[in-house]
Amino acid sequence: MNSLLNLIGKYLIGLLGIALVVVIHEIGHLIAARACKIDVEVFSFGLGPKLWSTDHKGTDFRISLFPIGGYCRLKGSDDLSQALLQRDKSFTHVEEGSIFSVHPAKRIITYLAGPLLNLLFAVLLYSVLASMPYSVLSTRAVIATVNDYPTLFSNATSPAHEQGIRTGDLIRGLNGEEIHDWERLEARLSESRGVQLLTIEREEEMLIIPVNGEKTDQGARYGLTVIRPPIVGSVRPATPEDDAGLVKGDIILAANGIPVANDLDLLIALDSDTERTELLVARGKEKQSLSFRPDLNERGKGEWNFALATDKRPMKAPPFSLRNGLETTLKITGDTLTSLVLLIQGESRSVRKEFTGAARAALMIGDITTLGLENDTSSGLRALWYLLGVVSISLGIANLLPLPAFDGGQVLTASLEWITNRRISPKAYWILQLVGIGTVLGIFVFLGYADMLHFLSIRR
């Protein structure tokens, strides 16, 4: 029951987030339509039966039952119906405020406003996120040499081990520079050339050991990795681990009968092929044995619903700048367009990995957000807003596709009318709308199929 409620909660977070982005899109249409003297008959948050509504300046603002989007209905449906009934070859008699009563340029502005506001929303969102203080990982620089863990590092050699570095050494300095964490050490070593002087602490003794890395195309390889104590930092609720009694702060002493001294030991122990996972943990002064059947991933291996404790250090954010948000938005836009082009060319490596429907997108948003919230509120909210920016960009780009019933299709039709100075016939417009509806349904089926492939692969 708890697992079901947890899943429903994730879907609600995702669906409400997607609905917010859709409503922002529709707000763009609303603002532009009013500016262009086009009446907006209905503006709805959500789809389906109306739960609540109020009239403001001739627009019926409403909240509908299903929070999976929204819509903005422009005036003009009566004009279309009358023209079709009378078999008119053009929109000769239109009401004031109808979409068919204004110049094509105003229709173009109205239809472009939705995608444009989606992109502007992403720019503003990423600008705000970039200006907010944040934390980065700061892992104590206790290291292991990769040759001590051949099953994890494919029997790799370690130049650092050959020159005197040992698993468990604490790195205190590099070439006279004080080292506070592994992240700093890793960054410095990636830039290094030649012999490096490592200051290490080993059994309360300070040593300086020269180490010469193995040259590679990217710089030098030292055969070092970080190790962390096996202290539980978080446990996802309504999971096998949670039901078994694993809690934050537990120190894992053994897994499946294999002693554990650090996170690498734990990875090896958990990779053993057993139907049940046995953990021996220290909690305060007591030791407890926990047993559970783990969830499985796509490869049929154990998928763990707990994370080890991590240390963080605060970072100062740069001042607010729209440039930061614009750069992030442009990068994500470029990646999205690249994926779209590859799909059209038939070169996409995996449809289910590149594209998602509403169901999987909502679950992904809810899943990543709740995972962040388990660490701290700030991480969860940052993850949520970042993902909503991605959704907003994707929605804006998708609506610009030149397909009937999409904003891009409406812009194309209005542009042709403007260029040729000839209005589209009511019948042609109606046929295009039917084709558009069929296209939308086809896309929903396609994305639903991609979601189904993904969910089936997980079950396998």
Q: What are the C-alpha distances in Å from 248 to residues 10, 231, 237, 271, 437?
A: 22, 8, 11, 22, 51
pLDDT tens string 180-202? 999 999 988 888 777 899 999 99
pLDDT score at 355:
61
Question: Greater confidence, 217 or 395?
Answer: 395
State the maximum Cα–Cα separation within the chain, in Å, rounded to a whole number. Answer: 96
Question: Greater confidence, 313 or 334?
Answer: 334
Helix 2-35 / helix 358-375 crossing angle, nearest 10 deg:
110
How large is the average pLDDT for residues 409-432? Answer: 90
Contact 191, 166 (CB under 8 A): no
Instruction: Report residue 454's pLDDT band, with 50, 70 and 90 as the boundaries.
Output: low
Contact 13, 370 (CB under 8 A): yes
pLDDT score at 80:
84
pLDDT score at 3:
62
As a whole number, the mean pLDDT across the chain is 87
How large is the average pLDDT for residues 403-422? Answer: 91
CATH number for the domain running over 137-226: 2.30.42.10
How large is the average pLDDT for residues 30-46? Answer: 94
- In the chain, ranges of CATH 2.30.42.10 domains: 137-226, 232-314
pLDDT tens string 237-260? 888 999 999 999 999 999 999 999
pLDDT at 1 over 70: no
Question: Greater confidence, 136 or 290?
Answer: 290
Q: Residue 177: what residue type?
A: E
Could you tell me the pTM of the whole model? 0.76
How far apart are alpha carbons 460 and 300 in whole angstroms?
7
pLDDT score at 349:
55
How far apart are alpha carbons 351 and 356 in whole angstroms?
8
CATH class of 232-314: mainly beta
* Residue 231: DSSP 8-state: B
